[in-house]
């Protein structure tokens, strides 16, 4: 209804809904296969899905859920659509991360959290992985006309926190605080929309944004050696390399 019917002399929008489960590499491949069959071009890819502080679970392919969905699912999705993005250049990739990346570390000895699992740490690690992925991808796409930037949306009132247990007595206070201080979904989407569509960031790549402004990153989020190693391991994990 919001997209609207084509008006006289004007093109209308078209909204197509396609099934995609980022906890399943099979689903990611099927989704991308359909997109490549049906769509002649791809101007913008926004990697926005995520899972937050869930109990220890594994994806269909045996990955720790937060790392599997937040990083590996998007990693495969983006790589399978890269050819179409390049053919559609100038085009843009937007990666939604989180300020909580600051509390994460990339532990190559236990990427799948089989030695130890902390739901907060693992979320932060997946969000750090998002930024390192965007940084390495931007390097690889230099000169192609495809830009890649990452962002943090702020604290947004969605059901992302459904796995966080809030004591029953504290819920009224939490609800009050969230209505007072959390962003609405529309407000939380503004930086993604800005990076996807604003002429101000045309040609800008490899940067990190918050509230529609570029922000500084901690050194660990700018470590190119770690970013390349994470890329190489991710390629093997999702089956792009044997």
Asked if residue 9 belongs to a domain, the reply is no
pLDDT of residue 36: 98
The mean of the pLDDT values for the chain is 91
Measured CA to CA in angstroms, residue 148 lies from 85, 86, 141, 144, 184 at distances of: 11, 12, 8, 11, 25
In a domain, 4, yes or no: no
**Pick from 91, 88, 74, 92: nearest CA to 32:** 74
How far, in Å, CA of 132 to CA of 108, rounded? 14
pLDDT in tens, 155-179: 766 666 566 676 667 777 656 677 6
Domain-located, residue 17 = no
Which residues lie closer than 8 Å to 224 by C-beta, 6 or more apart? 135, 136, 139
Domain presence at residue 96:
yes
Q: Which domain holds residue 155?
A: 25-238
Contact 24, 60 (CB under 8 A): yes
Which CATH number do you get for residue 43?
Answer: 3.40.50.720
Active-site annotation, residues: 123
Structure tokens at 218: 């901690």
146-152 vs 91-96, strand pairing mode: parallel
- Domains contained in the chain, number: 1
Spatial CA neighbour of 234 closest among 17, 42, 75: 75
Give CA angle at 84 (82, 85), nearest 5°.
60
pLDDT at 9 exceeding the cut of 60: no
Q: For 10-39, what is the mean pLDDT?
A: 93
Query: Is 14 within the bounds of a domain?
Result: no
Global confidence as pTM: 0.89
Please give the backbone phi and psi of residue 93, each rounded to the nearest 5 degrees, phi first: -120, 130
Residue 66: is its pLDDT beyond 80? yes
Residue 47 covered by a domain:
yes
Answer whether residue 5 is part of any domain.
no
3-class DSSP state of 28: helix
Residue 201 lies in a domain: yes
User: Residues 6 or more apart from 102 whose CB is under 8 A from it?
Assistant: 124, 218
pLDDT value at residue 13: 77
């Amino acid at each position: 209804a919001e997209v609207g019917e084509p008006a006289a002399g004007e093109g209308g929008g078209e909204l197509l809904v396609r099934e995609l489960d980022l906890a399943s590499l099979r689903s990611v491949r099927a989704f991308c296969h359909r997109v490549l069959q049906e769509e002649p071009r791809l101007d913008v890819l926004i990697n926005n899905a995520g899972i937050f502080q869930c109990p220890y679970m594994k994806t269909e392919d045996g990955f720790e859920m937060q790392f599997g969905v937040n990083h590996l699912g998007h990693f495969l999705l983006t790589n399978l659509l890269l050819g179409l993005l390049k053919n559609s250049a100038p085009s843009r990739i937007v990666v939604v991360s989180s300020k909580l990346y600051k509390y994460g570390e990339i532990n190559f000895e236990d990427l799948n959290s089989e030695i130890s699992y902390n739901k907060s740490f693992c979320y932060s690690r997946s969000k750090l992985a998002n930024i390192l992925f965007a940084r390495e991808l931007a390097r690889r796409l230099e000169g192609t006309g495809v830009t890649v930037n990452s962002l943090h949306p702020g604290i947004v009132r969605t059901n992302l926190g459904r796995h966080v247990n809030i004591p029953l007595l504290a819920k009224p206070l939490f609800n009050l605080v969230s209505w007072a201080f959390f962003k609405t979904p529309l407000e939380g989407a503004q930086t993604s929309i800005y990076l996807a569509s604003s002429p101000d960031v045309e040609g800008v790549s490899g940067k990190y944004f918050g509230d529609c402004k570029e922000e500084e990153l901690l050194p660990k989020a700018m470590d190119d050696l770690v970013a390349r190693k994470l890329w190489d391991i991710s390629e093997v994990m999702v089956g792009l390399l044997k």
